[in-house]
Amino acid sequence: MTTTQSPADSVAGTVKVLAFDIFGTVVDWHGSIVREMQALHPAVDADAFALAWRGGYQPAMARVMRGEQGWTLIDDLHRGILDEILSRFGLAHLSEPERRHLNRVWHRLDAWPDSVEGLTRLKTRFTITSLSNGNIGLLTNMAKRAGLPWDCVLSAEVFKAYKPDPATYLGVAKVFGLAPAEVALVATHHDDLAAARGCGLRTAYVERPHELGAAHPKDETPQPGNDLHATSLVDLARMLGC
Amino acid sequence: MTTTQSPADSVAGTVKVLAFDIFGTVVDWHGSIVREMQALHPAVDADAFALAWRGGYQPAMARVMRGEQGWTLIDDLHRGILDEILSRFGLAHLSEPERRHLNRVWHRLDAWPDSVEGLTRLKTRFTITSLSNGNIGLLTNMAKRAGLPWDCVLSAEVFKAYKPDPATYLGVAKVFGLAPAEVALVATHHDDLAAARGCGLRTAYVERPHELGAAHPKDETPQPGNDLHATSLVDLARMLGC
């Protein structure tokens, strides 16, 4: 007799550790930066500012991974991008303490409304960890403020490599003494999930249609490669029986 | 006017992060191993076995730090010591799965009765992190089982150095972007605290008179170098106004 197991049952039966992408997946970077800018500098186009800041992120990490600069934490990469874009938004006059405060907005990002409940439920059955390019201090400060109940805070900083480097995905499995297929990456980015899948991890996509702001909706069409496709972290918890 | 500030007020007013030694300070390694051995191998002198296993720990880390072997996780160091001592206790016949299970007892150590309440209270005012020579997977599994509510799991594994190497104590400050004096180490071992103090951290001693078992009480006389001396983690929380 052949029994057909659903992808959710297969993941629930095999996976021990859920590793979560953070920026966009668990927290709303665009909305948080927009709200902060509207409060501090209401004359600035906050939507364009948030997108410009985030737009420098992948190129900055790529420079580090090509060896053009030594290992550099995201806090410092964020600061470098900020210093580059400020004049474009009429903010070249910001003082050093003002720049430092603004740069820490990445430690103060708000969770999506379903994140705390979803993670809390998933934690009852799985070990839940961050797997973010954000540094450990940033992720810990963010979690404490937003109430994200991690079992463990893993970061590119632990592996000295940025996603999508295989050292990050395989690093999670190694930390827990598990096979790659016993770890699932949860993310709202298909490139991140594809890289994890290439390392043998299971993958769960989470819809975040407004990651780039309500004015720039994302295409949330399910992609065939992912094991699971959830509309939220609460939906993922439901699918996995938590 | 000169105001006299108590050491507890000084720590409470300055320190942002409390870093905790784990084995002995937060969890009862001796009692947990004794209970496991009494259940699995009742004929063995469990007290002597626990002390022999733990006795190999410092020398094994020292070999790593002298460069005699590459970076090695505590799970693997524990296993090496276990394999060495088994025959001395009439357990040379243990199979590979039995040895693997027994070695994981370090992931299953019980917390001292005051640890969860003390940490939960301290977490309301401070960022609380482990700073242990135990590996991240071990510390995370332990915390999940025992209910230890860490904000963050820091380990020698993150810094690729074992305590008392300065890279570990200074590493905590660096992770959080703090001065060393804004971090306090909490431990029941004076050598660990002295090394942290040498790096500029604040220090809190916690009495654990039965760390080595009821038959081998520790001298708990307060040492002058430490900022604080507490009888338990609940007592430390009380001293720090949590």
* Percent helix, strand and coil across chain A, each to the nearest 5: 50, 10, 40
Q: Hey, is the C-beta of A115 within 8 angstroms of any chain B C-beta?
A: no
Full strand arrangement of the beta sheet holding B127-132: B152-155, B127-132, B17-20, B183-187, B202-206, B228-230
> Do the Cβ atoms of B136 and A175 come within 8 Å?
yes
The C-alpha torsion from B203 through B151 and B108 to B188, rounded to 10°, is 10
Q: Which residues pair with A111 in a beta bridge?
A: A27
Q: What beta strand segments (E) does chain B contain?
A: 17-20, 127-132, 152-155, 183-187, 202-206, 228-230
Q: Hey, is the C-beta of A137 within 8 angstroms of any chain B C-beta?
A: yes
Q: Which residues of B touch A176 (CB under 8 A)?
A: 137, 140-141
Q: Hey, is the C-beta of B67 within 8 angstroms of any chain A C-beta?
A: no
> Do the Cβ atoms of B136 and A177 come within 8 Å?
no
Q: Which residues of A touch B143 (CB under 8 A)?
A: 151-152
Are A235 and A215 in contact by the 8 Å Cβ rule? The answer is no
Report d(CA A146, CA A148) in Å as an integer. 6
Q: Could you please report the per-residue DSSP string of B108-123?
A: SPPBPTTHHHHHHHHH
pLDDT tens digits, B67-78: 999 999 999 999
A151 exposed, middle or buried (CB, 10 Å; 0-12, 13-18, 19+)? buried
Q: What is the ipTM of this complex?
A: 0.94
Q: Which residues of B touch A152 (CB under 8 A)?
A: 136, 139-140, 143, 153
- The H or E element spanning position A131 is strand A127-132
pLDDT above 70 for B159: yes
Q: Hey, is the C-beta of A110 within 8 angstroms of any chain B C-beta?
A: no
pLDDT above 80 for A1: no
Q: What is the mean pLDDT of residues A196-213?
A: 98
Nearest CA in chain B to A129: B140
Domains of chain B in sequence order: 7-28+111-239 (3.40.50.1000), 30-107 (1.10.150.240)
pLDDT tens digits, B20-57: 999 999 999 999 999 999 999 999 999 999 999 999 99
pLDDT tens digits, A58-115: 999 999 999 999 999 999 999 999 999 999 999 999 999 999 999 999 999 999 999 9
